[in-house]
Amino acid sequence: MKREHAARAFVQSAVLRAVRGMQGTRVKAGSRGKRMGRIKTIGGSTLIAWCLATGAVAESGASSGATAPAQSAGPDHAAAERCAGLQAPSHRWPDSTTRITSANWHPADSKVSTQSGPVSLPAHCEVTGILRERTGEDGQPYAIRFHLRLPEAWNQRFFFQGGGGTNGELGDALGPISMGTPNALQRGYAVVSQDSGHDNARNTLPERGGPVAFGFDPQARADYGGASLEPVAQAAKAILAAYYGRGPERSYFVGCSKGGQEGMMFAQRHPEQFDGIVASAPGFSLPRAAVAEAWDIQAFASLIPGTNPSPDKLPATFSREQFARVRKAVLAACDADDGAHDGITANWAACEWSRVEPQLQKEVCSTSPDCLSAEQVNVIGRVYSGAKDSKGRSLYASWPFDGGIGSDGWRVWKIGPAGGPFPGINVAMGAPALAVLFTTPPTVVRADLSEAFRFALQFDFDRDAPKIYATHGPFTHSAWDDVAARSTDLRKFRARGAKMIVPHGVSDPVFSINDTVAWYREVDRLNGGRAADFVRVFPVPGMAHCSGGPATDQFDAFDALVAWVERGTPPDRLIATAGPASPWPGRTRPLCPYPKVARYSGEGSLEDATQFRCE
């Protein structure tokens, strides 16, 4: 269950970070994996209940360190001494400002608390470090912090663990890979994670948007966007060389969402750092996607009765039953395009509004509470057409119609969980990020759901959307320059023989797969139709952001990447399994590299991947 827990944990930790900043809510993991919530202010209880019901996780950030087993044979003293020696002032690191703040040895079978429960770790040296300490232009203390684990039984490989959301958390440096499989550290990889240049514990200011307050400092914004990545990779590799006496033979990066953006940033700006990258659901157009979040908020808020909408009414704009009707309409229009009526829209690229809208109109009625209204149908069309200015020019990509529309993992971003007051991550995290991080100059928005909602409703797509490309005062680079990683120039990445796999949920509610495949098509054009020689996009029909939804969302892209890099075996498919929360637990499907589609052979079980071909 590791991949499912890790992916859920990303969404849940994003929610928790957003609501902690907005309402002072804090969730911790108790002893023996028990969860408990502590509400400091009114308004977070329903969200906490949702997090607990879906397996809410330990507070995001670095672990407090591994705990030795009750009975241990004792550490390898030589390795422990080498570990402690990393703090010696005689070391010269690539960045002269680097300090090793701790270096602790942990014997085999030490335990560490993770988001999916306690995990036994191999013998390893755990290192934390800091570099580029400074005082920002906003008067706040900043630094880039990293967390590194060096296993005794090293496989001579390096694994960089990507971040998520607005970062600011050190990360556990364990290297989660896929559900039900050992993490990277357990496999022998040296693993690093980092906070991207700001610390949520120190830099969260309620009067300036909470966790996004670092956006008022130009360098902190640039570090978040990607400027922190190369110095951390260089520091980690230097520490590996100091500890093991040699550097890594192979280096890999794995991340989803903001982590996917970081993988893209490495491939485009620092292609020499990694041999292979898994960049899942890449947020490489983050500022544009944030504009689209405001567009969606305005569209759904138009369904709230009255002239003064409040954010707690947003989840009620569609009931769970109404979204079931929407999904029914999408499947009626497009499900059979892959040769099977199976609840999966594998041929999602052909599922267009002109086909879906007539089916939605069939669900418009007034005889039942779960009937759709004409206004709701119009809002679905408005959202899926993508954000536009008053002249109809696109500000972000459109969205594909897919069987994952309205799933829990979809609506927690767009409008919030059904039956509660939480208005969704688009409001709680997206709106403050748009105000402070992704437009220039930053706009002061207090860490308050109502104020974030109001900012999104007042966002003007003619006046304000261009601010993602603007510079002002000390911000000599735009947010797009700092954070976007959408370049299609991968010549240096390809020339060094590096490989990239890009899985992406077709029902991702925050980063549109249409944007990802448009990027891929341009990469393919620039490489003479040979992009698949070094980068492959794997759409996951039905999957929401990084995981979840009615989908076969359990798969191992990392092992496929390693096979491609080290054995020259390109992945022509990824075999994926539907998890226990899906409509079809245990179902398997091939995930096909874009533009191929998994098509049914016409005979055999619909639950078996062997009955489907990538064509």
Q: Per-residue confidence at 290, pLDDT binned at 50, 70, 90?
A: very high
Whether 114 is covered by a domain: the verdict is: yes
In Å, how far are 388, 554, 577 from 586, measured between CA atoms?
40, 10, 6
Whether 154 is covered by a domain: the verdict is: yes
- Residue 199 shares a structural domain with residue 302: no
User: Token digits for 394?
Assistant: 């696109």
- Residue 307 shares a structural domain with residue 235: no
Q: Going by DSSP bridges, is the β-strand pair 141-151/276-280 parallel, antiparallel, or unpaired?
A: unpaired
- Residue 111 shares a structural domain with residue 228: yes
In Å, how far are 3, 503, 539, 570 from 574, measured between CA atoms?
15, 10, 10, 11
Nearest-CA neighbor of 408 among 54, 25, 66?
Answer: 54
Q: Per-residue confidence at 76, pLDDT binned at 50, 70, 90?
A: confident
Nearest-CA neighbor of 297 among 534, 84, 459, 533?
Answer: 459
**Whether residue 431 has pLDDT greater than 90:** yes
Whether 226 is covered by a domain: the verdict is: yes
Q: Which of 429, 451, 481 is the last residue of a domain?
A: 481
Angstrom distance (rounded) from CA 60 to CA 29:
10
Say what the pLDDT of residue 181 is.
86
- What are the pLDDT digits (tens) for 434-444? 999 999 999 99
Whether 152 is covered by a domain: the verdict is: yes
Query: Which residues are annotated as catalytic?
Result: 257, 508, 545
- Residue 349 shares a structural domain with residue 204: no
Q: Which of 422, 451, 481 is the last residue of a domain?
A: 481
Question: Which amino acid is it at 338?
Answer: D
> Residue 568: helix, strand or coil by DSSP?
coil
Whether 229 is covered by a domain: the verdict is: yes
Angstrom distance (rounded) from CA 333 to CA 345:
10
Say what the pLDDT of residue 65 is.
54
Q: How many domains does the chain have?
A: 2
Nearest-CA neighbor of 350 among 595, 122, 154, 181?
Answer: 595
Nearest-CA neighbor of 253 among 282, 288, 223?
Answer: 282
Whether 282 is covered by a domain: the verdict is: no
Q: Per-residue confidence at 350, pLDDT binned at 50, 70, 90?
A: very high
- Residue 128 shares a structural domain with residue 225: yes
- Residue 243 shares a structural domain with residue 316: no
- What are the pLDDT digits (tens) for 299-326? 999 999 998 999 999 999 999 999 999 9
- Residue 431 shares a structural domain with residue 309: yes
Angstrom distance (rounded) from CA 321 to CA 327:
10
Cis peptide before 583 (omega within 30 of 0): no
- Residue 324 shares a structural domain with residue 402: yes
- What are the pLDDT digits (tens) for 443-502? 999 999 999 999 999 999 999 999 999 999 999 999 999 999 999 999 999 999 999 999
| pTM score, whole prediction | 0.90
- What are the pLDDT digits (tens) for 537-562? 999 999 999 999 999 999 999 999 99
- Residue 157 shares a structural domain with residue 225: yes
Whether 516 is covered by a domain: the verdict is: no
Domain hosting residue 349, numbered range: 287-481
Angstrom distance (rounded) from CA 324 to CA 318:
10
**Whether residue 68 has pLDDT greater than 80:** no
Whether 584 is covered by a domain: the verdict is: no
- Residue 72 shares a structural domain with residue 195: yes
- Across the chain, mean pLDDT equals 89
Angstrom distance (rounded) from CA 579 to CA 109:
29
- Residue 111 shares a structural domain with residue 181: yes
Q: Which of 444, 460, 481 is the last residue of a domain?
A: 481
- Residue 304 shares a structural domain with residue 431: yes
